[in-house]
Every structure is written in C-alpha cells, then in structure tokens.
Amino acid sequence: MKIRDGWLLEAEHLVSPNSDHRPPDELPSLLVVHNISLPPGQFGGDQVRDFFTNNLDVQAHPYFQEIADMQVSAHLLIDRLGHITQFVSFLERAWHAGASCFAGRERCNDFSIGIELEGTDTLPYTDRQYQVLAQVTIALMREYPDISVDRIVGHCDIAPGRKTDPGSAFDWHGFRRLLPEP
C-alpha cells in the first residue's frame, strides 16, 4: 500500500468535515484502533460513512437520535469485507479519540491516526479486516516512522473507563504477528 500527501492510494476517499489541522510540525506518532457499527451490532450499509460525513439520517433508527449532534471522524474505516474508506488525510487531525492520554501526553488526536474497524467489542473481527489492518499499519509505519509496534493501541488504552473498543474480541496477538519484527 502507498501513501501520497497523507492519503492512502488504495482507499476510497470520502472527505469528512469533522477534522482540522494538527499542531504545527506535528506528524503522526500513534495509531489508535477503534470499532464502530451503526446501528450498534449491525454491519453493512452506509450509516458509518454517513455519520462521519454528517449525513446520517437520524430518523432511520432510534439509536441515531442519541448521536445526532455528534461530530466525529476517523482517518480510516475498514469494513467487514476489508474495504477501506479514508475520511481525513493522515496529515490532518481527525476527531476520533476525544478526551485521551498516551504516555503522559493528552489530546491524542493531535498526534495519532485513528482506524475504525466495522465491528463490536464482543463479536470476532474478520480475517480480511486483520489482513488489511496489518497492510495499512505497515504502510503507516513506513511513512511515519515514529509509529512503532509499541505505539499501536486501542481506544480503551488511551481513554480507559470511558471507552472499551476495540474490545475483547480484538486479537492483539494475532494482529501483531502480521507486523514486521521491530
């Protein structure tokens, strides 16, 4: 996989308005793995894409009323089949982490890349998602060398007590085996 000017060439590009500039001279140095499904526990459809681009039909499901005013995004979404959608350039700040802290540094959105996997905390992710996530991660580590294996975390790790994703269903050991040795 190749990255040019902050965009993954193999991804579908669908720009989210829910982003802004990183602090000056800040390059990504942390990778945060998330999960999302809309409605919760349901897969397929365009609801996540619509949510990240502020186009979600809030009348389509009762849960959507609860998130109607949220403005969030991630850099990437990897669906159950391994399709990649990029919403925000890696050089920009996506709004994925919220109140967060890593290694004593707060505001993880400033220095991280957020990748959403279509899934839930408790349902297994697909083999294809792991394969694609590993390929993307390797490309990101090559492009942004401050992202190392020990700087790949779950949302739960940077916002403990507030977030639980990617959850107990995420196979960290199996995922890390797909990455090159440090």
Q: What is the pLDDT of residues 54-90, one digit of tens each?
A: 999 999 999 999 999 999 999 999 999 999 999 999 9
Q: What does the angle CA 13 – CA 4 – CA 70 come to, to the nearest 5 degrees?
A: 40
Read off the pLDDT of each residue in 26-38 and give the average, rounded to a whole number: 98
pTM for the model stands at 0.97
State residue 181's pLDDT score.
80
pLDDT tens readout for residues 153-178: 999 999 999 999 999 999 999 999 99
Q: If pLDDT is split at 50, 70 and 90, which confidence band does 7 have?
A: very high
Mean pLDDT of 98-121: 98
Report the largest interatomic distance among the alpha carbons of the chain, rounded to a whole angstrom.
48
Structure-token pair, residue 165: 């994703």
In the chain, what are the domain boundaries?
Answer: 3-177
Backbone φ and ψ for 12, nearest 5 degrees, come out as -75, 135
Q: Going by CATH, does the domain composed of 3-177 fall within 3.40.80.10?
A: yes
The gap between the terminal CA atoms of the chain, to the nearest Å, is 19
Asked if 119 and 37 touch (Cβ cutoff 8 Å), the reply is yes
Assess whether pLDDT exceeds 80 at residue 123. yes
Is the Cβ–Cβ distance between 112 and 97 less than 8 Å? yes
Residues noted as catalytic: 116
Q: Give CA–CA dist 123/68, Å, rounded.
A: 25
Residue by residue, DSSP assigns the chain as: --EETTEETTSEE---SSEEEPSTT----EEEEEEE-SSTT--SSSHHHHHHTT---TTSSHHHHHTTT-----SEEE-TT--EEE-S-TTEEES-S-S-EETTEE-GGGTEEEEEEES-SSSPPPHHHHHHHHHHHHHHHHHSTT--GGGEEEHHHHSTTT--TT-TTS-HHHHHHTSPP-
What's the average model confidence in pLDDT over 97-102?
A: 97
